[in-house]
Amino acid sequence: MFMPKSDVVIIGSGLAALVAANRLCMEKNVIIFTKSSKYNSNSMLAQGGVAAAISSDDDWSTHFNDTILAGCGHNLESAVKALVQEGPRYMEELIQQGMQFDKDEAGRIKLGQEGAHSIRRILHAGGDATGKALVQFLLKKLCNKVQIIEHELAIDLIVNDGSCVGVQTLDEHSQLTSYYANHVILATGGCGGLYEHSSNDHSIVGDGYAMAYRAGADLIDMEFIQFHPTLLYVNGHCPGLISEAVRGEGATLVTKNGRKIMEGQHPLLDLAPRDVVARVIFEEVKKGESIFLDITMIENFSSHFPTITSLCKRNGISPSDGKIPVVPGAHFMMGGIKVDSYSQSTIPGLFAIGEVACTGVHGANRLASNSLLEGIVFSNLMADFILSQATRPVSQKALRDERPTVQSKNQLPTKEEIKEMMMKSVGIVRSKRELEEVVMVLEPYIQLKPKELHFNKEKICLLNMITTAWLIASSALHREESRGGHYRADFPDVNKVWDHRTITRNALEHAVVN
Ligand code: SIN
């Protein structure tokens, strides 16, 4: 039986994966797997940039406070400190390696403004194409240094004697392979694709959470999903994101008749934290309003926001008309696989980085442009940790291709049913009754294994969707309060002023689901 072995296996090909591979590949043999193409990741779609306190007017403590305030005090302070203190150093390192960020006429790095940041501190590349520029830069650097295997789905982690020693994959020809490695890194991104309205790449449906759950890893804070206020909305669909940087440059949210909907809602108006803005839009839409971004005040919109301009045009919207139709949609998972400061999960040998991991930095609501920074900082810290470790023995017990001879009779809910249910009952506004119903509908499928689904790729992805949806709904049911990205209509008091000195992540028993 073919049982390939490498030092490091990384599952996923977004920014966090590429940063880790870039640091590890000089000393380690690295294989990257991705279930679709290496260009299908949320990082590729990231329009907002990287938040880092690099300006002389800024400092890490201001970035720290903004992160904690946006996170409603649920953040793990030591992780936030690592993020904001190490961030500028790793950004400088990327720039030294040749990464080009946008500059002003004087040749200084241009810093943008986004919601809930108290100062301009967002680095962009290609205007609104920062994620794509970073991915392309790193892919070029990695060329011929790491093996990137595309269109191969990781279906389960291999755990022997309590340690993760590899991953079982399914290729395009339904061939199963067990890859063994000293270090297995999940970098599979989030789960926006579980929702009808989402900014995420269509392939991002929560595979990493489901695999980690099946393997027995702890997951944490799964109820905290960030709904981005402004997804382009055309004919009932959301073909992409309209970056918060557009509001950063002055755009306002208005009704068809031009009423500014954020007036009287929050002192920061259109740049209030995302959960606040998303809920205001949600309530307006519920009342039958259509909501638009008024961009008439932004000069040279198309050169400032080329990606958004072409997204609008491809979908029949002309930015020169001055109004872009928007709705909120699932954008980012703040929770995930519970990891320590070196991205180690609760299973030895298994690491998690990027959105699939919960380092604790984002708390209950992520501050804009902190996600690419998290990918950069924690992947580097993890890579340095791995490089400092002695190689551990890996027991390669062969997994057999045990396919049942008859097809499973399990009739899983469809993708569309799951997305509709999540949007309606585990979305921007939640309640006990609806959450209980979702948990009850999904629970019967959770114990299924890929083997029982005859290693059918579509069905395994559906099982992953169901498992992750169930994890979110059960965690949301458990948390009887409203905080950040988790809003319970039956516990609506969000008017507390979250103070990180008195309300910490540990002040509440939070949902650790395993
Ligand atoms: C945006 O550009 O609005 C999204 C950036 C982010 O989520 O940080």
CA distance 137 to 93: 13
Atom of ligand 1 nearest to the CA of 370: 8
Tell me the CA end-to-end span of the chain in Å, nearest whole number.
Answer: 33
Q: Which stretch of 20-34, 40-54, 285-299, 376-390 has the lowest confidence by average pLDDT? A: 40-54
Task: Answer whether residue 503 shows pLDDT above 50.
Answer: no
Q: What would the pLDDT profile of 75-94 be if each residue is shown by its tens digit?
A: 999 999 999 999 999 999 99
Minimal-distance CA residue to ligand 1 atom 4: 48
- The percentage of residues in the chain with a pLDDT greater than 70, rounded to a whole number, is 92
pLDDT at residue 48, as a whole number: 83
Atom of ligand 1 nearest to the CA of 369: 8
Q: Average the pLDDT over 173-193 and give the result.
A: 96
Tokens 């965690």 sit on residue: 475
Atom of ligand 1 nearest to the CA of 371: 8
Cα pseudo-dihedral 329, 17, 137, 381, rounded to 10: 110
Minimal-distance CA residue to ligand 1 atom 8: 369
Q: What is the CATH number of domain 234-328?
A: 3.90.700.10
Task: Answer whether residue 401 shows pLDDT above 80.
Answer: no
pLDDT at residue 390, as a whole number: 82
Atom of ligand 1 nearest to the CA of 128: 2
Q: What would the pLDDT profile of 190-221 be if each residue is shown by its tens digit?
A: 999 999 999 999 999 999 999 999 999 999 99
Q: What would the pLDDT profile of 215-231 be if each residue is shown by its tens digit?
A: 999 999 999 999 999 99
Residues with CB under 6 A from ligand 1: 47-48, 243-245, 368-369, 371
Q: What would the pLDDT profile of 404-414 be if each residue is shown by its tens digit?
A: 555 555 689 99
User: Hey, what are 417's tokens?
Assistant: 């049913």
Mean pLDDT of the chain: 92
DSSP structure class, residue 453: G
Known catalytic residues are 274
For residues 240 and 273, which has the higher predicted lDDT (pLDDT)?
Answer: 240
pLDDT at residue 2, as a whole number: 62
C-beta of residue 37 within 8 angstroms of C-beta of residue 338: no
Minimal-distance CA residue to ligand 1 atom 5: 48
Q: Quickly state the pLDDT bin for 510 (edges 50, 70, 90).
A: very low
Ligand 1, residues 227, 241, 304: which to mutate, most atoms within 8 A of Cβ?
241
Task: Answer whether residue 502 shows pLDDT above 90.
Answer: no
Ligand 1, residues 15, 200, 243, 362: which to mutate, most atoms within 8 A of Cβ?
243
pLDDT at residue 406, as a whole number: 52
CA of 509 from ligand 1 middle (Å) equals 29
Q: Is 315 exposed, middle or buried (0-12, 13-18, 19+ CB in 10 A)?
A: middle
CA of 459 from ligand 1 middle (Å) equals 31
Task: Answer whether residue 101 shows pLDDT above 50.
Answer: yes
Ligand 1, residues 15, 45, 244, 371: which to mutate, most atoms within 8 A of Cβ?
244
Ligand 1, residues 44, 45, 47: which to mutate, most atoms within 8 A of Cβ?
47
Q: Quickly state the pLDDT bin for 498 (edges 50, 70, 90).
A: very low
Q: Quickly state the pLDDT bin for 398 (edges 50, 70, 90).
A: low
Task: Answer whether residue 501 shows pLDDT above 70.
Answer: no
CA of 47 from ligand 1 middle (Å) equals 6
Q: Quickly state the pLDDT bin for 391 (edges 50, 70, 90).
A: confident
Q: Average the pLDDT over 449-456 and give the result.
A: 91
| Domains in the chain: boundaries | 234-328, 415-508
pLDDT at residue 319, as a whole number: 92
CA of 370 from ligand 1 middle (Å) equals 9
Q: What is the CATH number of domain 415-508?
A: 1.20.58.100
Task: Answer whether residue 500 shows pLDDT above 70.
Answer: no
Q: Quickly state the pLDDT bin for 392 (edges 50, 70, 90).
A: confident
Atom of ligand 1 nearest to the CA of 226: 7
pLDDT at residue 71, as a whole number: 93
CA of 90 from ligand 1 middle (Å) equals 20
Contacts of 319 (CB under 8 A, 6+ apart): 295, 301, 302, 305, 308, 309, 312, 313
CA of 369 from ligand 1 middle (Å) equals 6
Q: Quickly state the pLDDT bin for 397 (edges 50, 70, 90).
A: low
Q: Which stretch of 24-38, 376-390, 444-458, 490-504 has the lowest confidence by average pLDDT? A: 490-504
